[in-house]
Chain A
Amino acid sequence: MWECCDILSYIVLQPTHLDRWIWHLHASNGYKVTNAYNHLLTSTSNNLAITHMTEIWNKEVPLKISLFAWRLLRDRLPTTDNLIKRHILHLNAQLCVGGCDMIEDAKHLFLSCDFVGKLVMLFLTVLVTT
């Protein structure tokens, strides 16, 4: 109750001014879709990932694959480490299915796991030698 009164006490009503919306990024120019788009692109901390983002939207693969890759690059797949972070799994469930005694996260699963992750790495080698 008092908090509300405090907040309201700072507000001075100006009866002669018309109400209007203010876009904080560009208060003088007003809202533009371009500004919002550029802001979203530049404000993300991981710009490297953004530059690769366009490459997963390949028109020759089904959309669900691109969506999957998008989640993978953002590390939003339900890998074991992410499920633990969200308190869905317990800490003792964190090991990779490959039996390699490592925590299953996206990097391990897709790049470094001996069991399945090296598939991508080995694929070109195998192609070249066949």
Chain B
Amino acid sequence: MFPKNVSDHLYQFDTFSGFFNNKRSSLNLIWLSCVWVIWLERNAQIFHQKEASFNQLLDTVKLQSYWWLKANRLGFVFSYHSWWLNPLPYFGIFM
């Protein structure tokens, strides 16, 4: 279902993994990373006439969320390479 507004979207995204707190907080972190990257991209386009591709933005989100987790989550010892290939298992999410 397409969310009505931004806060509904946050809620849907966060509860995608069920209601377990640690996974929820990780998806929450991805969501925050996405909106931040979108905002910076919007500003770059308006004020610096720079444009990034979708894949570049996606890479930024991946790199940024890795940095945040590595800096702030105890016991987060994964290498960036394996994170890059498939981040979801590190959140305890298996498809």
Contacts and interface: CB of A to CB of B under 8 A. Distances in A.
Interface stretch (A12-20, A24-32, A36-44, A116-124): A116-124
A52 B38 contact: no
Interface residues of A, number: 36
A69 B69 CA distance: 18
A58 B25 contact: yes
Contacts of B77: none
A66 interface: yes
A91 interface: no
A97 interface: yes
Interface size class, chain B: 35 or more
Residue of A61, A66, A97, A119 contacting most chain B CB atoms (<10 Å):
A61
A52 B25 contact: no
Nearest to A99: B45
Contacts, number: 101
B58 interface: yes
A59 interface: yes
A23 interface: no
Nearest to A96: B42
A103 interface: no
Contact of B68 (A51, A61, A68, A117): A61
Interface of B: 2-3, 5-11, 13-14, 16, 24-25, 28-39, 41-42, 45-46, 54, 57-58, 61, 68-69, 72-73, 85-88, 95
Given A73-B6, A111-B9, A123-B58, 10 more contacts: A48-B8, A56-B32, A61-B33, A62-B68, A65-B36, A68-B35, A68-B39, A69-B32, A119-B61, A122-B54
